[in-house]
Amino acid sequence: MPAHVDPTPRQRMVEASVVLREGEAVTGWAALNWLGGAWFTGSTDGVDARDVPLAARRHLVAQPGFGVSQEFVSPSEVVIQDGLPVTRALRSLVFEMRYAPTLGDAVVALDMACYSDLVSLAQVAAYVAGLGPVTGVQQARDAVAEGEENSWSPQETRMRGVWTKRAGLPRPRCNVPVFTLDGRHVGTPDLLGPELGLVGQYHGSAHLSLAGAASDIRKDAAFRDLGLETVAMVASDWADVDGFVARLRAAADRARASTAVRGWTIDAPAWWTPTDTVARRRALDEAQRQRYLDYRRAA
């Protein structure tokens, strides 16, 4: 690559891998990206490039662009994928969870690995249970308890953390479809508190256009017509989380006090194909994945 060209994350992985010897590999977020993890982009807040983490068996000096871990890696945990040596998804993810800056970041990594069906919660729980007293193992254990297989974006996961940890509300369901009582699909909110009748939506940059805003207004109206209270979080709320928590709690209070007739259900009709778990998504063939999972990217 010419020096003036900013390399893609995958180009950076390939360049970092040239220092590896047999039995060594790319790991962490970079391995998850290489294995198909859609949300592992190798950047912090979409701006600063993260170092490519390498697992090496010997003393290897880190250089600009990559970091080095000398933790033991079993040969069975290294695979060659499209010419690049990477650690398997489970090992890569748990490494990412253990060394994440915060518990919230560890939960995001876990949720997003499940989003791409690289791992299941049960697989991660079993792997973490088999670890000894290694760096970050308690954070990984705590993250498993908070994990979710049906979160569709990092910001949805972070919003769920605000919902439970900051607002103190019961843990919501993630992307559960809502139907009318006669079985018509009304929408699939980012978060739903079934006990409260409270819908939470995260409005990212795709929602800022007139078309996106109009769609959001129609969805909110459809949920309210069924007796659901709605609350939205936007990117600027991260600068004033307390302000959003106040809105969220106020919406929860309105939901509790509502006397509206409940016109909704999350009991799916017979014609609906559920895709809320890793196991269910893995069971789909390619045509079914195109048909039933494309909506996640659109959302």
Mean pLDDT of 253-265: 94
Q: Residue 3 above 80 pLDDT?
A: no
Write out the two tokens for 136: 């970050």
DSSP states along 21-71: -TT-EE-HHHHHHHTT-TT--SEETTTEEPPEEEE-SS----BTTEEEE-S
Q: Please give the pLDDT value at position 224.
A: 94
Yes or no: is domain 154-265 CATH 3.40.960?
Answer: yes
pLDDT one-digit tens code per residue, 157-205: 999 999 999 999 999 999 999 999 999 999 999 999 999 999 999 987 5
CA atoms within 13 A on the CB side of 261: 3
CB 81 within 8 A of CB 35: yes
Q: Please give the pLDDT value at position 213.
A: 66
Q: Residue 2 above 90 pLDDT?
A: no
Q: What is the rounded average pLDDT for all residues in the chain?
A: 93
CB 73 within 8 A of CB 25: yes
Residue 230 CA to residue 197 CA, distance in Å, equals 9
Q: Which residue has the higher pLDDT, 91 or 218?
A: 91
Say what the alpha-carbon torsion angle 211, 214, 218, 219 is, to the nearest 10 degrees. Answer: 60
CB 164 within 8 A of CB 198: no
Contacts of 4 (CB under 8 A, 6+ apart): none
Confidence of residue 208 (pLDDT cuts 50, 70, 90): low
- Class of residue 166 by CB neighbours under 10 A (exposed 0-12, middle 13-18, buried 19+): middle
Write out the two tokens for 159: 């919003």
Residue 263 CA to residue 213 CA, distance in Å, equals 25
The domain limits of the chain are 9-146, 154-265
Q: Residue 210 above 60 pLDDT?
A: no
Mean pLDDT of 63-84: 94
Q: Please give the pLDDT value at position 212.
A: 59
